[in-house]
Structure 1
Amino acid sequence: MTVLGLHHVGHIVRDMRQAVERYGTLGFSLPPAAYPVLPPAPGAPAEPFGVANTHAYFPGDFVELVTLAGSAATGAMPDDARPIPLRVPDDRLPGIVAAIRNTTANLTACLDRFEGVHILMFDTDDVGREAVRLEEQGVEHGGVHAVQRPVETEHGTRMEPVRFLELDGATPGLVAEGRVGLAENGGSDHGPHPNGAVGLVECVLCVADAELPQAEERYARYLGLPARGDGGTRVFGLRDADITLVGASALGELLPGERPAALPGFAAYTVATRDLGATERLLRGRGVPLGRTARGEIFVPAAAALGVAVVFRQAS
């Protein structure tokens, strides 16, 4: 198995300042949001452009908060936001600007559906090998790309290479539920988190009941393994995490009180925590509303977590 688990999920938000405050209340530690700065044309002054983000890092994976930057921004920039200058030669600038605008358009389309998780990247130890496997399975993708991302650690910021690919649907880089792909090199030693979170262990995709078999077949090709389960739920068990597919009529059994914002859509993600009892006490002490899953875990409802339910599970 070369798809090992979750690399990250991406929570697209309208207002980064509000999102950072909300995640802080939920007990996550995040570095200041990074805002790319780029001249939109040769000779023009640099300005925030494209997509801004910050991360709740765990040792092997992370949760990303994403928002639109610059003229496309829909919310306030945090006071401690970090400008990240992008240095691009003038002859390459138009191509880079066009690529960033394409990414921005995809994220805008996601945000137009609902505020919540629209990005799911699987962790792999060899994205090139996975690209070949996907092609053999008839899964279209945009090829392997190599970038560098800033990673915050207790010793400062370092640039880390990342290779990734994104799956194509009706639109390049976008399938029905959002951006889905594979990447190498997730996680960081930034932290710890007051809520005790130590890793990303599940993502839940909700689909129309009639579309569950097709979604199962599609993810079986993405992941190269079969699902288990019957009825309204299917689970793909990776080495380090699960991908759960659930029919819309069964979502309330999995997460009581939850309803899908749109179909298909990512309805929840789960983080493992060192001490679930301590996590629950912290969240209740901060006035965070909590539900309880069918498995007895605690979760923050989507209405209190900007469009996605956040589940906390006792680490094994």
Structure 2
Amino acid sequence: GGEACTLRFTVVRPEVGCLPEGRVQFLTHHTPDELWQSRWLNHPNTARALTDMLFCVEDPYEASQRYQRYLGRKAEPVDGGYVLALERGRLTLLAAERVTALLPGIHIPCVPFMAAYAIDCRSLGSARAVLRASGIDFVDHTHQGLTVPALPALGGTIAFTEDAGLPSWL
């Protein structure tokens, strides 16, 4: 092991009900070098970062206005909704019709719904091998990564990308 250290964060949580998409919170790491040590980051699937969240929302414009106020970031229009660029990723807000078109077979139990999230990997080949060895079904989008269809226990589709590539919904 290494020396003991104190990790410091600032967590921002909106008032309950302000963001109907869920109990959303954002945080800032004040000691990232202490937290993101290479010894903790070696996963067999080579995952290294959560890069994207996709929310299925009733009214993408209205949701984008709320998140612009909350995050202090500009929402840019995309087909069927909006995307907000963050320091280390993106938040995409799409209407149900667009989510269904982009993630065939997805079951949207309610709106709003956390439809998908993306994890960046060092190697899609390694991620592919781990998924196969674990018996987990996935769709291979070749250059746009892999997606694991939404499972009830996971809540949303998981996309694996490589080298900070865009997930299949962007």
Q: Under a length normalisation based on structure 1, what TM-score does the superposition of the two structures give?
A: 0.45
Partner of 1:175: 19
Q: How does 1:71-110 map to 2 (within 5 A)?
A: none
| Structure 2 residue matching 1:229: 3-state secondary structure | strand
Larger radius of gyration: 1
Q: Deviations over 1:67-92 (max 9, x none)?
A: xxxxxxxxxxxxxxxxxxxxxxxxxx
Partner of 2:43: 193
- Report the Cα distance in structure 2 between the residues aligned to 1:253 and 1:309, rounded to whole angstroms: 14
User: Residue 315 of structure 1: CA displacement?
Assistant: 1.5
- Report the Cα distance in structure 2 between the residues aligned to 1:293 and 1:193, rounded to whole angstroms: 22
Question: Contact 1:298–1:311 at 8 Å: present in 2 too?
Answer: yes
| Aligned residue among 28, 53, 60 for 1:184 | 28
Partner of 1:315: 163
| Structure 2 residue matching 1:288: 3-state secondary structure | coil
Structure 1 residue runs of 5 or longer lacking an equivalent are: 1-153
Paired letter, 2:52: E
Q: Closer, same or farther in 2 for the Cα pair 1:283/1:277, shift >3 Å? A: same
1:165 matched to 2:12? The reply is: yes
- Report the Cα distance in structure 2 between the residues aligned to 1:240 and 1:254, rounded to whole angstroms: 23
Paired letter, 1:307: G
- Report the Cα distance in structure 2 between the residues aligned to 1:312 and 1:226, rounded to whole angstroms: 26
| Aligned residue among 42, 45, 54 for 1:204 | 54
1:299 matched to 2:137? The reply is: no
Question: Contact 1:289–1:304 at 8 Å: present in 2 too?
Answer: no
- Report the Cα distance in structure 1 between the residues aligned to 2:9 and 2:53, rounded to whole angstroms: 22
- Report the Cα distance in structure 2 between the residues aligned to 1:204 and 1:213, rounded to whole angstroms: 15
| Aligned residue among 82, 106, 109 for 1:234 | 82
> Share of identical aligned residues, percent?
29
- Report the Cα distance in structure 1 between the residues aligned to 2:127 and 2:113, rounded to whole angstroms: 27
Partner of 1:269: 117
Partner of 1:245: 93
User: Residue 281 of structure 1: CA displacement?
Assistant: 2.2
- Report the Cα distance in structure 1 between the residues aligned to 2:152 and 2:139, rounded to whole angstroms: 11
Partner of 1:290: 138
Structure 2 residue runs of 5 or longer lacking an equivalent are: 165-170
Question: Contact 2:146–2:161 at 8 Å: present in 1 too?
Answer: yes
- Report the Cα distance in structure 2 between the residues aligned to 1:232 and 1:292, rounded to whole angstroms: 24
Q: Closer, same or farther in 2 for the Cα pair 1:263/1:254, shift >3 Å? A: same
Paired letter, 1:242: R
Paired letter, 1:205: F
Moved more, 281-290 or 175-184: 175-184
Q: Closer, same or farther in 2 for the Cα pair 1:264/1:276, shift >3 Å? A: same
Q: Under a length normalisation based on structure 2, what TM-score does the superposition of the two structures give?
A: 0.79
Q: Closer, same or farther in 2 for the Cα pair 1:267/1:221, shift >3 Å? A: same
User: Residue 307 of structure 1: CA displacement?
Assistant: 1.9
Q: Closer, same or farther in 2 for the Cα pair 1:183/1:159, shift >3 Å? A: same
| Structure 1 residue matching 2:125: 3-state secondary structure | helix
User: Residue 302 of structure 1: CA displacement?
Assistant: 1.6
User: Residue 233 of structure 1: CA displacement?
Assistant: 2.8
| Structure 2 residue matching 1:175: 3-state secondary structure | coil
Question: Contact 1:164–1:182 at 8 Å: present in 2 too?
Answer: yes
User: Residue 161 of structure 1: CA displacement?
Assistant: 2.6
Q: CA RMSD in A?
A: 2.5
